[in-house]
Amino acid sequence: MCGIFAVYNYAGEVTAFRPRALYLSKKIRHRGPDWSGCITTGNHIFCHERLAIVGVDSGAQPITNADNSIILTVNGEIYNYLSLKKLLNDPQPYVTQSDCEIILHLYREIGDKVVHHLDGQFAFVLYDKAADRLIAARDPIGITTLYYGYNSTAPQEIYFASEMKCLNETCDRILSFPPGHLYDSTTGQFKRWFDPDWWSEELIPSAPVDYTILKRKLEHSVRKRLMSEVPYGVLLSGGLDSSLIASIAVRETRKIVKKHEVQVRTGSVDDGNSSSDEVTNIEWGRLHSFSIGLPGSPDLLAAREVSKFLKTRHHEYNFTIQEGLDSISDVIYHLETYDVTTVRASTPMYLLSRKIKAIGVKMVLSGEGSDEIFGGYLYFHNAPNAEALHQETVKRVKNLHTSDCLRANKSTLAWGLEARVPFLDTNFLKLAMNVDPQSKLCSSDKIEKFILRKAFDTSHDPTLEPYLPDNILWRQKEQFSDGVGYSWIDSLRDEAERKVTDEDFAKSHDRWPEDTPQTKEAYWYRSEFEKWFPEKACLESVVRWVPRTDWGCSADPSGRSQKIHNVAYNSI
């Protein structure tokens, strides 16, 4: 992952604007601390802040082709880039070993259809000088953040940036670039290019569960995300999702190391021209896992057990309530949202990411997306029927770019750490979102995410190596902001009571007539957001989680507020 900033059709003198552009791009250097680049052409400017994961020595951006007629700035990872090289009819010399350069070469041959061939998480801006055409695109689910903005005094200009903080001083309208869309300057329009059959909330699927294929698809998704020339690890909370990803990663890393050892023994080590999409750092040794929590928290205890079972090199970190409270303002600055549930969960993730980067790791796998796909949050127990559950899962996946994807991307990249999310692989989504939702319904004897757990349950065959201990495989959902320690959320509420007076809270609507905070905690976060981003333009991209009170759910996003949680964890 990296940071990008670009301006198309700048109204003034680009040369004079260049220092200003560098200043704005520098605001996201935390995303890409390894190198910076800037190219101007005509009245357009393209900047890049690089985090080197693949093509470490030669992947500086923006990238241009041989005659400098195409300019590309990318934030992302293209997992199938080696395979895509075979699609080129007229291969041109590569100037980098980066996985992202393939976008430029494919565009030269097939134009904006390039987006249909990319398997990865990405946001990019590409300028074609010959056609005087700019296109910008974002990955299907919005794993990678991207914003665009306008200035009403120069309506022909359009700005693009990985984070809103590059735009708020300049643009009086800022929006989140819609996932799965492409912007084309020749039409000035956005068009959806990712449109799978499951995208409609009205079409209720009926396919039966194929546990074997479900397992195989997730394993393949994890394997391709091990593409890295730098040390990597896994975020391990001890919950089902992160533990499964860790278990698969251990197995896949083992296979890759074994394959390499055979190649070394036989003298057939890959010369770099293989068509296999396998570029994996194998010198890091055992897979490293990382967890964080308050001392004695549920997640730390579970993660410790999983690490011991999987034999990972485990790193466990404690944080204090005060450290968390002291970080809230900075977290909101990096998140660029005041959504309560996102801030709660992002703070420990933000603290953990700093620890991870400090030991030299630049990429981690994470478990985001599973709960949205399989109806894994505890409030899904209240779904009235299978149709309603499916519609809610589709809606939650569509909005991941405003919540969990935003959290995973910005909390980690605040420290130059990249998070990859195997559950959101488009091939895995195609399978999992087309399963009959009846199989995802919870009941008194059917735990949430049952079909995912069942797919990795080996208890029926004692000859198979188990993926996880049974008590972890069948552990009830524990939201990350709860699992790090129940007193974390309680302390946030207490701090909000101290910070926000009854008088100020009573005037919430007068201060913020739109999207008025409903709790003192929400008031506190909104106030911090306003300190960093006082401009009205910054509000349009913020989306708050709305609870399903129509399902009888609590208005508080904590999993502990659900009755089913109290039944299972009333002793904690």
Give 64's strand partners: 71
User: Tokens 């680009």, residue?
Assistant: 14
Helix (H, G, I), strand (E, B) or coil at 561: helix
Using an 8 Å Cβ cutoff, are 325 and 247 in contact? no
Contact (Cβ atoms closer than 8 angstroms) between residue 337 and residue 399: no
Q: Single out the residue of 312, 437, 381, 311 nearest to residue 554, CA to CA.
A: 381
Separation between Cα atoms, residue 162 and residue 159, nearest integer Å: 11
Spell out the residues 6+ positions from residue 222 whose beta carbon is closer than 8 angstroms to its own: 245, 248, 249, 252, 365, 422
Question: Please, are residues 231 and 284 in contact by the beta-carbon 8 Å criterion?
Answer: yes
520-523 long-range contacts, CB within 8 A, separation 24+ = 520/493, 520/496, 521/340, 521/492, 521/493, 521/496, 522/338, 522/340, 523/496
Q: CA of 282: how far to CAs of 224, 262, 266, 557, in Å? A: 14, 13, 18, 40
pLDDT per position as a tens digit, 323-345: 999 999 999 999 999 999 999 99
Q: What amino acid occupies position 176?
A: S
Question: What pLDDT score does 568 carry?
Answer: 47
| Cβ count near 151 (within 10 Å) | 18
Burial of 300 (0-12, 13-18, 19+ CB in 10 A): buried
CA distance 293 to 109: 50
Please check whether residue 307 is in contact with residue 327, taking contact to mean a CB–CB distance below 8 angstroms. Answer: no
User: Residue 525, Cβ neighbours under 10 Å: how many?
Assistant: 27
User: What pLDDT is stored for residue 572 in this prediction?
Assistant: 36
From first CA to last CA, the distance across the chain in angstroms is 39
**Bond from prior residue into 422 cis (ω within 30 degrees of 0):** no
In which residue ranges of the chain is pLDDT below 70? 1, 269-285, 557-572
Q: Which two tokens stand for residue 37?
A: 């680049």
In DSSP terms, which residues pair with 446 in a beta bridge?
443
Cβ-based neighbours of 57, under 8 Å, separated by 6 or more: 97
Determine contact, residues 202/267, Cβ cutoff 8 Å: no
Q: Cα-flanking dihedrals φ and ψ of residue 268, to 5°? A: -115, 35
Q: What does 266-311 look like in DSSP terms, one character per residue?
A: HT----S--SS---B--TT-SPEEEEEESTT-HHHHHHHHHHHHHT
- State the Cα–Cα distance between residues 457 and 465, nearest whole angstrom: 10
3-state secondary structure of 332: helix
Taking the C-alpha atoms of residue 337 and residue 331, their distance in angstroms, rounded to an integer, is 9
> What sign results for the dihedral spanned by CA atoms 250, 291, 2, 114?
positive
Domains belonging to the chain, first-starting first, are 3-195 (3.60.20.10), 220-265+279-569 (3.40.50.620)
Instruction: Find out whether 207 and 393 touch, Cβ atoms under 8 Å.
Output: no
DSSP assignment of 8-69 equals ES-SS-HHHHHHHHHHHHHTTGGG-TTEEEEEEETTEEEEEEE--SSSTTT--SSEE-TTS-
Are 40 and 19 in contact, with CB atoms under 8 Å apart? no
Asked if 442 is an active-site residue, the reply is: no
CA torsion angle 239 245 251 255 (round to 10): -170
